Amino acid sequence: MKNQKHILVAQLFISSDAHILKGLLEAQDITVFMFDEGFSSLTPADAVAVGGIKIHVPFEQRNKAQKIVDKFYENLKEEKILKCANCGSTNLKHDYIEHIKYGFINLISAFAGANASHGVRYYKSCLDCGDKN
C-alpha cells in the first residue's frame, strides 16, 4: 500500500467484538476502516485463517485510538475471565470437555464449509447457578 494514510490498531476474531470497538472509536470521532470482515464473520476458524478482522484508523488519529483499543482489550479480558452471564458470579469452572467438543465441532464445520459454530461457546460452568457460559 503506497502512501499509507491509515494504520492497523486492532485485530479481532469475533465480529461482534470488532463492531463494539468500531462503535467506541467512532463515538470519539475517529474514522474506522474494517478489513476482512466478510470472511471473518463466517466462522471463528475462518477468522483465524485470515488473521482476524483488521481495524485501521487514520494515521494522525492513532494515539487517540490506541488508548481506546487498549482499554477495550482490558475490558474484554476481564469480561472473558470473570462473570457468569446468568447470575454475574465469578465462581466459574472451566469445562475442558465442552471446550474440546466445541473445538471439534468447529473443525468439522470448517472442513464442511458449514457455519455451526455460532452461539456454542459454553466452556464454563457456573458453580453458583449451574449455568453454562
Positions that interact with Zn ion (CB under 5 A) = 84, 86-87, 89, 126, 128-129, 131
Cα 35 to Cα 29: distance, rounded to the nearest angstrom: 19
- Determine if residue 124 is left, alpha or beta; phi over 0 gives left, psi from -120 to 50 gives alpha, anything else beta: beta
19 or 121: CB nearest Zn ion: 121
Rounded to a whole number of angstroms, the minimum distance from the CB of residue 78 to Zn ion is: 17
Rounded to a whole number of angstroms, the minimum distance from the CB of residue 66 to Zn ion is: 35
55 or 92: CB nearest Zn ion: 92
36 or 98: CB nearest Zn ion: 98
Rounded to a whole number of angstroms, the minimum distance from the CB of residue 83 to Zn ion is: 8
* Amino acid (1-letter code) at residue 96: Y
The residue assigned the cell 470472511 is: 39
Cβ–Cβ under 8 Å, residues 47 and 102: no
79 or 128: CB nearest Zn ion: 128
Rounded to a whole number of angstroms, the minimum distance from the CB of residue 94 to Zn ion is: 14
Q: Provide the CA 9 distance to its chain's centre, in angstroms.
A: 14
DSSP letter, residue 84 = -
